[in-house]
A = this chain, B = another copy of it.
Amino acid sequence: MNEFDLIKRYFNPATQPAVADLGIGDDAALLTPRAGCQQAISVDMLVSGRHFFADVDPWRLGYKSLAVNLSDLAAMGAVPRWFTLALALPAADTAWLDAFSRGLFHLAQLHGVELVGGDTTRGPLTISIQIAGEVETGTALTRCGASDGDDVWVSGVLGAAAAAVAQRTDALQLAPEMLARCLDRLEMPTPRVALGRALRGLASACLDVSDGIVGDLGHICERSGLRAELFAESLPVDPVLGALPLATQQKLALAGGDEYELCFCAPATRREQILHLALEHDLPLTRVGRMLAPLAGAQAVQLVDGQGAALAFSHGAFDHFGA
């Protein structure tokens, strides 16, 4: 099978939504942007052994490769429209490609996004997806709009993805059924696209939790020129972790990157609306902190207990080039 056959066979299914005017097969795809919208553009690169275990199920890898990009658009409040795929493969393994592409297109179809271009080459297993979405001009959720006094919210529950990683690195021992549910969370995160759309006009700032909530909230602080308090006891820990010691649950909820939940800020006047959204989307939305004016010498994100007393926390954001 050559490169062109491979693309035809696995990456050009008849089931694709017809978003593009001209799709795969030319020097570039051609697309007509929607009037009155800005485009939101994001890119991710996943490397075997770093972002995923080399033995991960390929269907799930295909799913997750797109999910992480959809999550970035969700955090902007954008409707995802099209994506490209750059794929380096050690070999043209047909069973792997079949499963990978099915996982990818399963999620693509759910969100009506079209694969409009790609590049396939031989090399160490590396996946890069770039995605484009559209959001009505001026309504995008960014990291820089939070105000002093805003509440900090997070969607869903946290910690299970981190637990699955901790198990693989022998830092934790989970019962088999518990592990399976944690792996589901790690390998098949749900991008919160509908929630992101609903937060337009409501949230003052938003991002997706991909490096751990402490580090991620730190990005909002930096871009908004504020600091934040994070309520340790309010963090919504995944119930699957209920059998673990409380301190471990909290640590996992704090450290967990790879959750792809949305962390957002909103004025206190919006609490009722936000709790209504939680019902509407059948998704927990939990108030986990508040934004504060900057203070010389204070940490950007301070973990506090139920009495507002500062707690120590040493886990920063995940850093690919850190020590």
What residues of chain A have their CB less than 8 Å away from a CB belonging to chain B? 1-4, 6, 21-22, 25-33, 35, 37-45, 47-48, 50-51, 72-73, 75-76, 78, 82, 84-88, 92, 116-124, 126, 128, 130, 132-133, 135, 137, 140, 142-144, 206-208, 223, 319-322
Contact = CB atoms under 8 A, between A and B. Distances in A.
A33, A120, A135: residue with the most chain B Cβ atoms closer than 10 Å: A33
A156 to B, nearest CB: 17
Contact of A117 (B38, B43, B50, B133): B43
B82 A44 contact: no
B321 A42 contact: no
A25, A26, A120: residue with the most chain B Cβ atoms closer than 10 Å: A26
A122 B42 contact: no
A123 B121 contact: no
A122 B26 contact: no
**Number of copies of this kind of chain in the complex:** 2
A201 to B, nearest CB: 16
Contacts of A117: 41-43, 130
Contacts of A135: 30
A87 B124 CA distance: 13
Contacts of A78: 28
A96 to B, nearest CB: 13
Given A22-B142, A30-B39, A122-B320, A45 B87 contact: yes
A206 to B, nearest CB: 8
A35 B92 CA distance: 41
B121 A124 contact: no
Contacts of A45: 86-88, 119-121, 123, 126, 128
Contacts of A87: 45
A168 to B, nearest CB: 18
Contacts of A27: 40, 42, 72-73, 75-76, 143, 206-208
Contacts of A118: 43
A27 B69 CA distance: 9
A145 to B, nearest CB: 11
Given A121-B320, A122-B320, A132-B132, 17 more contacts: A4-B319, A22-B140, A26-B143, A26-B223, A29-B42, A30-B38, A32-B39, A33-B37, A41-B117, A45-B128, A47-B126, A50-B122, A51-B121, A86-B128, A120-B320, A128-B128, A130-B130
19 contacts: A3-B319, A21-B38, A27-B208, A28-B41, A28-B75, A28-B133, A29-B41, A29-B42, A30-B142, A41-B82, A41-B84, A43-B84, A43-B117, A45-B123, A47-B122, A84-B130, A86-B128, A124-B124, A132-B132
